Amino acid sequence: MFGVIARDQSRAVMDTMSTDPAFWDAYWSHRPAYDRGDVTAAEYWRLVGWPPMVEQDVASWTEVDDEMVALLGSLHSAGRRLALLSNIPEDHARNFERLYPWLDLFEVRAFSCRIGHAKPSAEAFEWCRERLGDGEVLFVDDRVENVRAAEQAGMRGHHFTGIEGLRAVL
């Protein structure tokens, strides 16, 4: 979702959280466990070593690309099956579900915190494949390592760099 449908983390909000590189090193090094749901928000922030900033963290990730949301709506209206695989902690997932009804367009919604697997692990793609069944799947992501992992799982992959490139592939 992030980097494709949702915008990357807001620099302005990030700067209110911290400008200390040590903070961001800890933030990212412990993020995979938080995204997978292996640790709670309280445990994650304890590992980071800073006071909990759940609200700021959630706020830093909430901006979406309206043009991409419109494309999702068009694909759904045309009868295309849509699935979402996103590395996202539970607090963020609940916030997105509260804010964005377009999530209901996805027949399969695989939030890493709820499936216990995060991209680029093969298990995350296998979880989705089991729910989607046989057939061709186009996996779209802004990270090359995730696209390659999807391809290894038998999906077609598209490295997202912008909506026009995606439209051409579709």
pLDDT in tens, 50-94: 999 999 999 999 999 999 999 999 999 999 999 999 999 999 999
Q: Which architecture characterizes domain 66-168 according to CATH?
A: 3-Layer(aba) Sandwich (3.40)
Domain ranges of the chain: 11-60, 66-168
Q: How far is it, in rounded angstroms, from Cα 29 to Cα 44?
A: 10
Q: Which one-letter amino acid corresponds to residue 51?
A: P
Q: What is the pLDDT of residue 134?
A: 86
**H-run or E-run covering 152:** helix 144-152
Residue 128: burial class (beta carbons within 10 Å; 0-12, 13-18, 19+): buried
Q: How far apart are the first and last CA of the chain?
A: 17
7 in Cβ contact with 65 (< 8 Å): yes
Q: Are strands 108-111 and 83-86 parallel, antiparallel or unpaired?
A: parallel
Q: What is the pLDDT of residue 169?
A: 97
pLDDT in tens, 100-130: 999 999 999 999 999 999 999 999 999 999 9
Residues across the chain:
170
Q: What is the pLDDT of residue 164?
A: 97
Residue 59 bridge partners (DSSP): none
When the pLDDT of each residue in the chain is averaged and rounded to a whole number, the result is 96
Three-state DSSP class for residue 83 = strand
